[in-house]
Amino acid sequence: MKNLILFLLLLAAKSSMAQNPAEEEIRRLDQLEAQATIKGDTITLKHLWSPNYVVNNPANTVINAEQIRQLMKEGKIAYSKFSRVIEKVTITANVAITMGYEVNQPENATDNAGKTVTRRYTDVWLKGKSGWQIIARQATIINIK
C-alpha cells in the first residue's frame, strides 16, 4: 500500500511539472534569445524580435530593435557573462509572457563594465504567421556588485 501511495505521489509530482508544448517552445526561444544576446548574434535576434520590438531598458530609455542591433554592432551592448533564469511563463492564446531574472557582466561602454549586474526582466511574445517573436521587453537592474 505504501508503495502504491508513493508511486501515485511521484506520478502526480511529475504530471504537475510537465509543461505544455507551447510553454516548452517559449522557454526554448527565450533561452535562444539570451544566447544570441551574449554572442551579439544580430541575425538570430532579427528572427526572434518583432520588427516592432520595443524595450524599456535598464538605462531608463525606450528603444527599438534596430537601435539595439546597432548598439550591439558598435560594441556598446556586449557581455562577457549572461545568464537568464525563467521563473514563470504565462500563455494566453497567441501571447506569452516570460518573467525572471538575468545575471550579466557588461564588457564596456557602461558605468557597470566588469561588474556583475542582476536584473529582473519581462519578455512579451506574440505568435504570428512566422511563429513566436518578442514584441516588448522590460529590464530593471536590482543589484550591481
What's the mean pLDDT in 3-20?
53
In a domain, 15, yes or no: no
What's the mean pLDDT in 93-115?
85
Distance CA 45, CA 36 (A): 6
In a domain, 9, yes or no: no
| Residue 17: all three cell numbers together | 511539472
CATH of the domain at 109: 3.10.450.50
Distance CA 67, CA 69 (A): 6
Among residues 37, 62, 41, which one has the least CA distance to residue 52? 62
The answer to pTM > 0.95 is no
In a domain, 4, yes or no: no
Number of domains comprising the chain: 1
